[in-house]
Amino acid sequence: MKEPLTLDELRASLAHVAGSDFGMREPRWLSRFGNETRLADTYRQGRVLLAGDAAHMHYPAGGQGLNVGLQDALNLGWKLAAVPREGAPDTRLDSYHHERHRVGQALLRNTEAQSALMGFTPETLALRELMNGLLRNPTVNRPLAEHLGGLDVAYPDAPVPSPLQALPPLPGWTGRRLPNWDLRLSDGSPRPLYSALHRGHWPWLHAKAGPQAPTRWEPAPGWTPRLEVLELDISDDATPLHGLGGLLIRPDGHAAWAWAAGR
Ligand SMILES: Cc1cc2nc3c(=O)[nH]c(=O)nc-3n(C[C@H](O)[C@H](O)[C@H](O)COP(=O)(O)OP(=O)(O)OC[C@H]3O[C@@H](n4cnc5c(N)ncnc54)[C@H](O)[C@@H]3O)c2cc1C
């Protein structure tokens, strides 16, 4: 491990990079960080589960580490509760690795790409200028912003929660992360979607005429999670749920299953 950072070292470094130390003085806190890029081979080994920086280390470009670590925890938390409390199969914990490891891989790739833009050689400065121009285009900027914010994370390969196969899925919905929609219940009252996640249940959103939630639901034999049933008014064309018959949502806010209206 390297020695703690001193003000003299920081001054010398800044003078080297920027040509001046800008008269820095009286630091409150000095810390050094490196450019390690490492990913655990597996996020689960029996009873040991890795999340956050224990699972992925990288250059802090783009301010993503904490965010991705929290999303690891959100993915893992409901599964950790479901196995001992609700009788979910132990393999459900393996899905934590399957769903989050590839997010860690993408995180490392994009921080490495950003590190390539950090130098001060003429080539790097030219590349940065080029990127600056490209990023003024919203078509380029938006997907990158969604990626850095973790908003584009989806788990399309998530196992089908039986017995929902009877309701043919709408393409593109399974595993998608859902925003905090302002829902309107069938009695006219408003309800933000995320409030339905507070108790760790699975929200079952359905149109008045759509399939009702089962009274007892077993996504796998012996596993009986709780549903949070919300009957919605989706008559308004502007509602994000327009055209949907219903939606089952995982406790981490990702869609488990969506089916079309009229089913
Ligand atoms: C300069 C810099 C800027 C950053 N900026 C951002 C940003 O803007 N946005 C963002 O999302 N992320 C950012 N990050 C990344 C973010 O700080 C980390 O990803 C995040 O703090 C990791 O959280 P963690 O809980 O996984 O690990 P840590 O924060 O490292 O927490 C692990 C804890 O475990 C404790 N511990 C270790 N060993 C033991 C032990 N044996 N027993 C008990 N306790 C132990 C440690 O003391 C520590 O408190 C930045 C990182 C750096 C270096």
Which pLDDT score, from 0 to 100, does residue 234 have?
77
pLDDT along the chain (263 residues), means of 10: 89 94 95 90 97 95 93 96 93 95 96 91 95 96 94 85 72 91 91 95 87 81 91 77 85 91 67
Which pTM was predicted?
0.89
Domain boundaries, the chain: 1-32, 37-148, 164-260
Rounded CA separation 203/142 (Å):
29
Tracing tokens 């960080």 back to the chain, one arrives at 33
129-158 burial: b if 16+ Cβ within 10 Å, else e? eeeeeeeeeeeeeeeeeebbebeebbbeeb
Which pLDDT score, from 0 to 100, does residue 169 have?
77
CATH number, span 37-148 = 3.50.50.60
Query: At the topology level of CATH, where does 1-32 sit?
Result: Alpha-Beta Plaits (3.30.70)
CATH number, span 164-260 = 3.40.30.120
Q: What tokens were used for 221?
A: 């034999």
Give the ligand 1 atom nearest the CA of 67.
Answer: 11
Residue ranges lining ligand 1, Cβ < 6 Å: 33, 52-54, 60, 63-67, 69
Give the ligand 1 atom nearest the CA of 54.
Answer: 26
Give the ligand 1 atom nearest the CA of 64.
Answer: 11
Which pLDDT score, from 0 to 100, does residue 126 have?
96
